[in-house]
Amino acid sequence: MGHARYNVFIDWIDLMLCSLQRDDESYLEVVDKYDNDLPEGERPIDLYSQAFGHLQEGMSETDADLLGVIYEELGMDSDHFGQYFTPHNICDMKAEMVITADKDLDREKPYTVADPACGSGRLLVYAAKKIPSDVEAVFYGQDKDSTCAKMTALNLCFFNMTGYAVHGDSLKMEKHRVWQTQGTALGGEIRELEEDEFPEIDYEAVQEEVESQAEEIDNEFEEVSDHDVDLVEISETEGATLADFDD
């Protein structure tokens, strides 16, 4: 009996999550969907294991979000959900702009980086690469597509990042499932949280931070506008060369 490409990919994601969490019961539930009577090495579960190994090998070579790439290459992104994954180079640029703009070099609190429509968690991964290794950081990714939330959970674990991956609509402040990851010296760890363990976001604190940053930007613009610019003087220098300004 054949299996749809979409379902095969979802099962692969689930098997990896189960393996990393040592959830044997859920792992076997996925395995039981397939024909396990074939010779060893030809069983679907063997192919899944090989694919996991190839993924790890590819990520070690590229240091990139290959899960998201595979998802896109298989045509699984959804126009209905408005899924358009941000290209790697744009993620790198955005992370560079945000992290390097931080003027608090002696911060005591860890960085908190959130993406309310995270896809495969690609932007979070690039943000982690820009944060100094001696600075703590917590990453929070949320997506209303369950597969995307699971890919984010895996990527946070693969890239040894501390944070949360949440399945739920950010605009409705929903949380259906949450995975917590922890970066360690031995590599990432992951576990799915019970409902009473779901992290709570202090939205008032977030709003105060946003307003504070907006005020800083307004002040910078005011400082720039305080400097008068003589447009007549500028126009008179049009066409001049450096030699014209020698004493």
In which band, very low, low, confident or very high, does the pLDDT at 242 lie, cut at 50, 70 and 90?
very low
Amino acid at 203: Y
Residue 8 CB neighbour total at 10 angstroms = 18
Whole-model pTM?
0.78
Tokens 């890239």 -> residue: 159
Q: What is the pLDDT of residues 156-210, one digit of tens each?
A: 999 999 999 999 998 888 899 999 999 999 999 999 999 888 877 665 665 666 6
- Which DSSP state fits 19? H
CA–CA gap between residue 128 and residue 181 (Å, rounded) = 14
Looking at residue 124, its pLDDT comes to 96
